[in-house]
C-alpha cells in the first residue's frame, strides 16, 4: 500500500537533472549512490536561493543575518524530524569523518591509559580511524568486534565478551557501505550502555535506506551525511543533550559554548545546511499524503523505497550469481540489508570492471570504499571490489544493463 502513496520512479527521475547525462550513445545509470547520490533540482534551488538572497554570517542584527539564523534553525527542525530527534540535538559539520574526529578528541580528554575502545571490522574507517588515533594519543586499548565471513555480520555474542569495566567507548555502524549488512544497533547499544560505555553510531549508509530513530537506537551520538541521501556534501550529528554537554570540546573563546552549537567549529557551510534540509523535504514530499507529518511521510517513503530496492537487489543478485567467475559478498536478499551489492569478477581487478562498464553508461564504484578492514578480510585489499548501489532513481532497465555489461566483460565481447 505504501508504494501507491509514493511518487513513481519516473516521477522521481524527472527531478534529477543529472539523469539526462549520456556517455556516448548510452544514458548514464548511476550505481555510485553509496559513495554519493545525485541531487534533485529542489536541493540545488534551495542552496542557490540562500546564496543569492540571504547569504550572511550568524547572530547579527541586520536582515540577512537574521534570515540566516532562521533558516539554520529551520534546518535543525527538519533534520531532527529525519532522525527522530529534537532540534537542540542536531549539529552540522564538514562531513561525518571531521565531526567524529572532533567528538573523539573531546572524549579523549577523559580517558586514561588502559581504558578500552571497541570498534568493528564491519565499519567504514571513518568510525575506526578517529578511535585508532585516540587510542594512540591517550594509551587506550583498541578492541575489534570481529566480522563473521559466513554471515557477513558481527560474530554473535562477541560484543558481550569484549566489554569490561574499562570499556569507555563502543563505536558501531548502522549499515555496511560495502556489504549492505544492516546491524541490530539498538541491541548492541543497549549492551554497551549496560557496561557504562559511550556509544557512537555511524548511520551514513543506513540513513538513505531506513528511517533512523535515534531514540529507539539509544546511542549517545549518531552521525550521517547528507550527500548520501540526495543532499550536498555536509555531515550531520545527533548528540544526546547530556552527552554533548559533557564533552570537553576544543573551541575558540568567543564561540558558542551551548548545545548543539558547541559542536560546530568555525563558520558553517550555511548553504549546505539549507541544502540538507531541502533533501529531507524532497524525500518527505515524495509521499502523496499532505495531511501527514513530515516524519510520517518520511516513514511512508522509506518503506516504499525499501520495497523497490529489494526488488532491484533480487534482480541484480540473481543475475550476477548466474555469471561464471562472479563472486558476491554480503547477506542475501530478503535479510536485513540495503540494496547495495559488492562483487568480484575473477581475473579482473575492480577498477578494470568499472572502466569497462563506464562507456556503456553504467557507473559503478571500485576499491575498498574506506571499509578497508572488510576488503582485507575478504582477501581483496589489492584488487578491490565492484560496488553497485540502488537509489531512489534506479530502474530495472539499468540493472539489466549492468548485468549485460558484466556478461560482456566475462565473455570477452564488445
Walk me through the domains of the chain, giving residue ranges and CATH numbers: 2-39+294-407 (3.90.1150.10), 44-282 (3.40.640.10)
pLDDT band at 264 (very low <50, low <70, confident <90, very high): very high
* Residue 211 backbone zone (phi > 0: left; psi -120 to 50: alpha; other: beta): beta
Cell numbers for 108, please give them.
579523549
Nearest one of 268, 222, 304 to 75, comparing CA atoms: 268
Q: Is the pLDDT of residue 2 over 80?
A: no
Residue 338 pLDDT greater than 50, yes or no: yes
pLDDT above 70: residue 171: yes
Report residue 376's pLDDT band, with 50, 70 and 90 as the boundaries. very high
Tell how far CA 250 is from the center of its chain.
26
Whether 109 and 198 have beta carbons less than 8 Å apart is answered as no
Question: pLDDT value at position 1?
Answer: 40
Residue 68 banded pLDDT, cuts 50, 70, 90? very high
Confidence of residue 88 (pLDDT cuts 50, 70, 90): very high
Tell me the C-alpha distance between 374 and 370, whole Å.
Answer: 9
pLDDT tops 70 at residue 396: yes
Provide the 8-state DSSP code for 242.
H
Question: How many whole angstroms separate alpha carbon 70 and alpha carbon 88?
Answer: 14
Is 319's pLDDT higher than 60? yes
What's the pLDDT band for 4 if we cut at 50, 70, 90? low
CB 277 within 8 A of CB 83: no
Q: What is the pLDDT of residue 283?
A: 98
The partner residues of 222 in beta bridges, in order of sequence, read 201, 238
Q: For residue 413, name the pLDDT band (cuts at 50, 70, 90).
A: confident
Candidate from 107-121, 241-255, 265-279, 385-399 with smallest mean pLDDT: 241-255
Tally of CB atoms within 10 A around 85: 23
- CA distances from residue 166 to 8, 57, 118, 187 in whole angstroms, order as listed: 51, 43, 11, 20
Can you spell out the DSSP letters for 68-136? HHHHHHHHHHHHHHHHT--GGGEEEES-HHHHHHHHHHHHHTT--TT-EEEEETTS-GGGTHHHHHHHH
Mean pLDDT (the chain) is 96
Over residues 48-52, the mean pLDDT reads 98
- In this model, does residue 123 exceed pLDDT 80? yes
- Cα 107 to Cα 11, 198, 235, 258: the distances in Å are 46, 9, 19, 17
Q: Report yes or no: 183 and 135 within 8 Å, Cβ to Cβ.
A: no
- C-alpha span between 145 and 119 (Å, rounded): 6
Length of the chain, in residues: 414
Q: Is 77 exposed, middle or buried (0-12, 13-18, 19+ CB in 10 A)?
A: middle
Q: For 256, how many CA atoms within 13 A lie in the half-sphere containing its CB?
A: 15
- Position 21 pLDDT exceeds 90: yes
Higher pLDDT pick, 300 / 2: 300
* 389, three cell numbers: 548501489
Around Cβ 324, how many Cβ atoms within 10 Å? 9
Give, as one character, the DSSP assignment of residue 174.
Answer: S
pLDDT in the model for residue 251:
86
Amino acid at each position: 500500500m505504501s508504494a501507491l502513496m509514493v511518487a513513481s520512479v519516473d516521477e522521481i527521475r524527472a527531478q534529477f537533472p543529472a539523469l539526462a547525462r549520456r556517455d556516448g550513445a548510452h544514458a548514464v545509470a548511476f550505481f555510485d549512490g553509496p559513495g554519493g547520490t545525485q541531487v534533485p533540482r529542489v536541493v540545488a534551488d534551495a542552496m542557490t536561493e540562500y546564496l543569492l538572497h540571504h547569504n550572511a554570517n550568524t547572530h547579527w542584527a541586520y536582515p540577512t543575518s537574521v534570515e540566516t539564523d532562521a533558516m539554520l534553525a529551520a534546518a535543525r527542525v527538519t533534520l531532527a524530524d529525519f532522525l527522530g530527534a529534537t532540534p537542540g540535538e542536531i549539529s552540522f559539520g564538514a562531513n561525518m569523518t571531521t565531526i567524529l574526529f572532533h567528538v573523539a578528541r573531546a572524549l579523549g580528554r577523559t580517558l586514561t591509559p588502559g581504558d578500552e575502545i571497541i570498534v568493528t571490522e564491519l565499519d567504514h574507517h571513518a568510525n575506526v580511524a578517529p578511535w585508532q588515533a585516540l587510542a594512540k594519543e591517550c594509551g587506550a586499548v583498541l578492541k575489534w568486534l570481529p566480522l563473521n565471513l559466513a554471515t557477513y555480520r558481527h560474530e554473535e555474542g562477541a560484543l558481550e565478551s569484549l566489554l569490561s569495566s574499562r570499556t569507555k567507548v563502543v563505536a558501531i555502524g548502522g549499515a555496511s557501505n560495502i556489504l549492505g549488512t544492516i546491524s541490530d544497533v539498538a541491541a548492541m547499544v543497549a549492551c554497551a550502555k549496560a557496561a557504562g560505555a559511550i556509544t557512537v553510531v555511524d548511520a551514513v549508509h543506513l540513513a538513505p535506506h531506513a528511517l533512523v530513530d535515534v531514540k529507539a537506537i539509544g546511542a549517545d551520538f549518531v552521525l550521517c551525511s547528507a550527500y548520501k541521501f540526495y543532499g550536498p556534501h555536509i555531515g550531520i550529528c545527533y548528540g544526546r543533550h547530556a552527552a554533548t554537554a559533557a564533552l570537553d570540546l576544543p573551541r575558540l573563546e568567543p564561540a558558542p559554548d551551548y548545545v548543539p552549537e558547541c559542536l560546530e567549529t568555525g563558520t558553517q557551510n550555511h548553504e549546505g545546511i539549507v541544502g540538507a534540509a531541502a533533501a529531507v523535504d524532497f524525500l518527505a514530499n515524495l509521499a502523496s499524503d499532505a495531511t501527514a507529518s513530515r516524519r510520517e511521510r518520511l516513514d511512508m517513503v522509506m518503506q516504499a523505497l525499501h520495497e523497490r530496492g529489494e526488488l532491484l537487489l533480487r534482480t541484480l543478485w540473481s543475475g550476477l550469481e548466474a555469471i561464471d567467475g562472479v563472486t558476491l559478498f554480503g547477506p542475501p536478499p530478503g535479510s536485513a540489508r540495503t540494496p547495495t551489492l559488492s562483487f568480484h569478477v575473477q581475473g579482473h581487478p575492480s577498477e578494470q570492471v568499472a572502466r569497462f562498464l563506464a562507456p556503456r553508461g553504467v557507473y559503478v564504484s571500485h576499491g575498498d570504499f574506506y571499509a578497508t578492514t572488510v576488503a582485507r578480510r575478504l582477501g581483496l585489499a589489492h584488487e578491490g571490489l565492484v560496488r553497485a548501489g540502488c537509489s531512489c532513481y534506479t530502474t530495472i532497465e539499468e540493472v539489466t544493463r549492468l548485468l549485460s555489461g558484466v556478461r560482456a566483460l566475462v565473455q570477452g565481447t564488445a
